[in-house]
């Protein structure tokens, strides 16, 4: 029996969506308000779901405490109260859109999860806008 275990997390971060090599006009046309040169913030919500077999000895797919610790170490410490463009090396050459953030988060957590388990990450940038990556 494969069961999905999910954990919610949260971080606040600032970003700006733009390409250095594009003109101001083109950045404004493509990214609009998200191109604000002084950055802007979001209250990001994260749902991390791990699917796998129930371990017959523990009754767990994954220990929720371990999953919480992994999210804390890999995502919250790295992103919370940071400027994603300026403070987070993952976005030095990658536009911090919700799509790119969810892939970065997925890769960080994937490295810490047993290979036999599947991983899905959903990232809410606003209550109505969210993205999902399953690898
Ligand atoms: Ni934004």
Report CA(43)–ligand 1 centroid distance (Å).
Answer: 10
Task: Give the per-residue pLDDT at 105.
Answer: 98
81 is catalytic: yes
Report CA(132)–ligand 1 centroid distance (Å).
Answer: 17
Report CA(80)–ligand 1 centroid distance (Å).
Answer: 15
Task: Give the per-residue pLDDT at 59.
Answer: 97
99 is catalytic: no
Average model confidence (pLDDT) across the chain: 97
Catalytic residue among 15, 42, 74, 125: 125
Report CA(92)–ligand 1 centroid distance (Å).
Answer: 17
Catalytic residue among 34, 45, 53, 57: 34
Average pLDDT over residues 79-84: 98
Helix (H) or strand (E) holding 87: helix 84-87
CA dist 47 and 55 (Å) reads: 22
- Phi, psi for residue 114 in degrees, rounded to 5: -50, 135
21 is catalytic: no
Q: 48 in helix, strand or coil? A: strand
- Name all domains of the chain by residue range, CATH numbers in brackets: 2-133 (3.30.479.10)
> pTM value?
0.95
How do residues 10-69 score in pLDDT, each as one tens digit? 999 999 999 999 999 999 999 998 999 999 999 999 999 999 999 999 999 999 999 999
Report CA(47)–ligand 1 centroid distance (Å).
Answer: 19
């Amino acid at each position: 029996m494969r069961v999905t275990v999910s954990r919610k997390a949260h971080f606040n971060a600032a970003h700006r969506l733009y390409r250095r090599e594009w003109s101001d006009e083109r950045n404004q046309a493509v990214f609009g308000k998200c191109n604000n040169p002084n950055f802007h913030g979001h209250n990001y919500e994260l749902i991390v779901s791990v699917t796998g077999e129930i371990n017959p000895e523990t009754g767990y797919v994954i220990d929720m405490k371990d999953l919480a610790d992994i999210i804390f170490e890999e995502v919250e410490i790295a992103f919370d109260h940071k400027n994603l463009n300026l403070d987070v090396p993952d976005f030095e050459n990658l536009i911090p859109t919700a799509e790119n953030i969810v892939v970065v988060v997925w890769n960080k957590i994937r490295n810490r999860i047993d290979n036999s388990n599947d991983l899905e990450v959903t990232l809410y940038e606003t209550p109505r806008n969210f993205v999902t990556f399953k690898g």
